[in-house]
A and B are shown apart, each in its own frame.
Chain A
Amino acid sequence: MGLAQISSKIGNVRENAKRHAEVMKKAGEDKADLTCFPELSLPGYSLKDLAYEVVDDCQVALTSLARRTEGQRVMCGYVKQDALGLVQNSAAVMGDGKVLGTTSKFFLPTYGLFEELRYFVPGDPKTDLRVFESAKCRFGVIICEDAWHPEPIQALARLGAEIVFCLASSPARGISRAEPDGELPIESQWLSLLKAHALMSNVFIAFVNRVGPEDDEFFWGGSTVVSPGGETLARAKRDEADWVTVDIDLDEVKRARRFSSFRDYRAEFHEVLRDL
């Protein structure tokens, strides 16, 4: 698989689509079966009111990029118009020359700098939890904040995903106190989170983060692949655009699941949570 850690220009879908096409060409040369871009990679992340204005450009770009695909699978982030006037923070899965399917973010953050619920309609677990297939594997897709909750990855794993791609736009904070080459607090938090999910759900997790500036934010990159055993298999550069490929052994999923209680689920917990 290939992690396409890119910087996008906000609102400039055409320019960003060119960048996607360049990386997809490279992915083809490197024979990547699965290539993943970050959250909202086509329109940029901090769209605010532009969220409503990039829908058509996103659709044109998606159609054009999808035409370039063959047997490989490519995931990217875009703004999807769900019903007239309603938009979603979505991911498209492309392959065989077309858009094979989409999914939308379930948990839309509204704390600190985030204001997603103001603009986007959340994804519906009943329709947006989807397992896609390539010639070699089954995989699911989630978006950023979805990884800060147990259910999306757990559900995709139970539905049969062997790999979960997490498209992210995680901004840097706390640079002023960081050690010279040390991780930012958000980097170690993400790594812990990815490892915990991988261990609990016995899946490979590929976290693909944005990099670079966008208004006053700066995305830190550091895209990562974690194995079902919680091992870090690949890590992209911090603060720089990067393209990282990694070979994975799907038998690891099987082996991990034979020594795990990942399939156990107690609905009573959600009944309690629902009533709180």
Chain B
Amino acid sequence: MTPELEEIVPAELRLNTARVSAFLARRLALYVNEYAGRTKAIVGLSGGVDSAVVAYLSAKALGPENTHLYLLPSSSTPPEDMEDAKAVVERLRIPEGNCREVSIEKHTMDLASSLGKRQDRLTVANIKARVRMILLHGFASVLGGLVIGTGDKSEITIGYFTKFGDGGADLFPIGDLYKSQVRQIAAEVDLPERVYRKMPSPALWEGQSAESELGIDYPTLDRILYRRFDLWWDEKSIAADLEVPLATVERIVQQVKRTQHKRYPPEVFKLSLRSHGSDWRYPREWG
């Protein structure tokens, strides 16, 4: 592993980018074309690494002509994020007509004001994420596409996403890749360096940083999650191996448990002989 790559992805999480990206592109094409019977990928492009890699995979799977990218800034979006998003559009040779910028500021403020005085930063942040998903599904409906989600395994596992916001996509093609692995792919498929070097942020409020909010850097988070859930280690062994406080490992694991509801469909209380949930065990591809 080159010293540069070592900074991006811990050795134990290193991927084979060519094989993984070819596999994911193939799965994406099969899902969109054959399972869903659609042709187009609809992706919200934030200027961050996850959406850049999803846009790359969509273009690889369905062609740039079938990849539609939407820049959906609000007042808390740093201008450099939009510059980075545009650099991704250019790098992927997405046709001009397939890329649109739509401000979500007015929609967000209108909705937030409907809440009256009881609005706080997190509530407004979640409204932003949901407004974006409403628009993306609207574009998908108009164009006959699917909303390709940008959630990665780190975020999904710790529940660092908005229910029915960024969590409301049709498909999560990079949902089994930790953030560090997504960065590795971005670096190795030659996406703009700023995109995979920058500090991750949902930019839902000014100055928001994912790592400071989570209280841990992504490579360490990924190494903890990998050991706990991929390798089934206990928490003490993880803390000792990574030389991080046990309390940190416990806090992360607790966050995974506490956010389990976000990874499940809403609960249905059972009344009949057979209801949606544990009784309803049909495959996704049905008929």
Contacts and interface: CB of A to CB of B under 8 A. Distances in A.
Interface of A: 9-12, 44, 46-50, 175-180, 212-216, 218, 239
Contacts of A218: 23, 27
A47 B281 CA distance: 9
A177 to B, nearest CB: 7
A175 B62 CA distance: 21
B23 A175 contact: yes
B15 A176 contact: yes
Contact of A175 (B20, B35, B281, B283): B20
Contacts of B26: 239
A212 B286 CA distance: 16
Given A176-B20, A176-B177, A213-B27, A49 B281 contact: yes
Nearest to A217: B283
A50 B283 contact: yes
A12 B27 contact: no
Nearest to A172: B23
B176 interface: yes
A13 to B, nearest CB: 11
B19 A180 contact: yes
Given A49-B281, A213-B27, A213-B30, A176 B286 contact: no
Contacts of A44: 283
Interface string B55-69: 000000000000000
Interface string B27-39: 1001100010000
Contacts of B232: none
Nearest to A118: B281
Given A176-B181, A213-B27, A50 B19 contact: no
Interface string B223-240: 000000000000000000
7 closest A-B pairs by beta carbon, nearest first, are A48-B281, A49-B281, A215-B284, A10-B285, A10-B283, A176-B15, A215-B283
B20 A50 contact: no
Interface string B156-178: 00000000000000000000110
Contacts of A46: 283
A239 to B, nearest CB: 8
B116 interface: no
Contacts of B177: 176
Given A11-B283, A49-B281, 6 more contacts: A9-B285, A48-B282, A175-B20, A180-B19, A216-B284, A218-B27
Contacts of B284: 215-216
Contacts of B15: 176-177
Given A50-B282, A218-B27, A179 B287 contact: no
B61 to A, nearest CB: 13
